[in-house]
Amino acid sequence: MKILVQKFGGTSVATPERREMVMQKIFKAREKGYKCVVVVSAMGRKGDTYATDTLINLVKAQGPYVSLRELDLLMSCGEIISSVVMASSLLNKGVKAVALTGAQAGIITNENFGNAEVLRVEPYRILEYLEEDYVPVVAGFQGVTEKGDITTLSRGGSDFTASILGEALGAEAIEIYTDVDGIMTADPRIVQDARIIDKINYSEVFQMAEQGAKVIHPRAVEVAMRANIPLIIKNTMSDHPGTIIGNYNELYASADSDRLITAIAHITDRVQFRIELGTENTKLENEIFDQLSRNHISIDLINVFPEKLIFTVDENKSQQVEQLLNKRSLKYDVYHNCGIVSVIGQRMRGVPGVMARVVKALTKENIKILQTADSHSTISCLINGDDIKKAVIALHNEFNLSER
């Protein structure tokens, strides 16, 4: 049985016209012999009637107090509505379809409401429907605990739903439909001549997502990479072939060997902390990291020196970090309005001179580098937030990413 998982975002299912486009994608896949499992997000975006943010505001209007359990129950409704409407649309076209909640699809999670971890997937019910030639339409972004409580999988969780179902079902591919033609070499709102990337490695797109590119949920990439299932980013409203995310060796066996960098990504609203460690307590940095972890504060860039610790956090966590540091009476400096610009490319591994080109391109534009971090496939620079656009354009030009 050839199984294809197709995920459609909120804008793709928001109107009858868009849902008609969605059905055409499903019909074409079925004509090619695929058994389709469809995953849907809540209809529309913030302000739309059934969008997740609209539902959240509905309950928050009653007052500041709502439990995370009840909030998850409410947030799951948007995707359930989408699945019922989409299944009904298919039925009215003569296609057998059935709407399933995350629980009914067999997605079992822990009890971390709002950001649940998937413990396992029991896809037996979906497989039974596929054997009977149904199109299961699964509500994304949700699962259920062992006790039967509804949970959500954090924002962007419908991508994750598609991947974990693809893995559990042994799908041949996972298609993620959105409102763009594929993954681009940079944010097109910043770089006007950014281009669609035809093929990209799992680790590269994972790094892009981690470094701020809003292309696909990082956990969705992680699961697909683990299962070695191709992820394909496509546009619901066009027939563009999109971007294939897959195995590095297979994808680049015949690719141009001289392209070191695949894409430029960026993150805004970062805050840098520089903490004086002193020489008396050699375990202080570990204690700080443990305390940040216990308070669910994620760190972006980290540099540890004998007497100083430097890291960055999201702006909305900076006040919490300051409170923790003040409780310990630590000396520190804090720098607001920062951003991170990153060059990403699997081919840079072991190639000398890439960092020099990054520094040269930024220096040429009088952009001061405040902190750096690198891995085998990523070089990231912390800069002033006002310089982000200029930096993205400079690096995109430096590595000739607009050229085919």
Please tell me whether 8 is known to bind a ligand.
yes
Give me the helices (H) in 92-201, please.
Answer: 124-131, 157-169
Helix (H, G, I), strand (E, B) or coil at 33: coil
b/e code 151-167 from CB counts within 10 Å (16+ = b): bbbeebbbbbbbbbbbb
CB atoms within 10 A of CB 333: 11
Alpha carbon 183 to its chain centroid, in Å, reads 12
Please tell me whether 214 is known to bind a ligand.
yes
Please tell me whether 132 is known to bind a ligand.
no
Instruction: For strands 308-314 and 302-305, give the pairing.
Output: antiparallel
Beta-carbon contacts of 291 under 8 Å, excluding residues fewer than 6 positions away, are: 324
Tell me the torsion sign for CA atoms 177, 135, 51, 122: negative
Please tell me whether 141 is known to bind a ligand.
no
Q: Could you give the CA distance from residue 2 to residue 6 in angstroms, rounded to a whole number? A: 13
Q: Could you give the CA distance from residue 260 to residue 169 in angstroms, rounded to a whole number? A: 35
Please tell me whether 179 is known to bind a ligand.
yes
C-alpha closest to that of 300 among 211, 395, 207, 213: 211
Cα dihedral 325, 331, 337, 342, rounded to 10, equals -90
Please tell me whether 143 is known to bind a ligand.
no
Tell me how many degrees the CA angle 19-197-156 measures, rounded to the nearest 5.
Answer: 50
Please tell me whether 7 is known to bind a ligand.
yes
Beta-carbon contacts of 321 under 8 Å, excluding residues fewer than 6 positions away, are: 271, 273, 292, 297, 313
Question: In one letter, which amino acid is 303?
Answer: N
Where residue 337 falls (left for φ over 0; alpha for ψ -120 to 50; beta otherwise) is: left
Beta-carbon contacts of 145 under 8 Å, excluding residues fewer than 6 positions away, are: 108, 109, 110, 111, 116, 151
Residue 73 exposed, middle or buried by CB count within 10 Å (0-12, 13-18, 19+): middle
Helix (H) / strand (E) containing 276 = strand 263-276
Instruction: For strands 135-139 and 97-100, give the pairing.
Output: parallel
**Residues annotated as binding site for substrate?**
52, 79
**Residues annotated as binding site for ATP?**
7-10, 178-179, 189, 214-215
**Residues annotated as binding site?**
7-10, 52, 79, 178-179, 189, 214-215
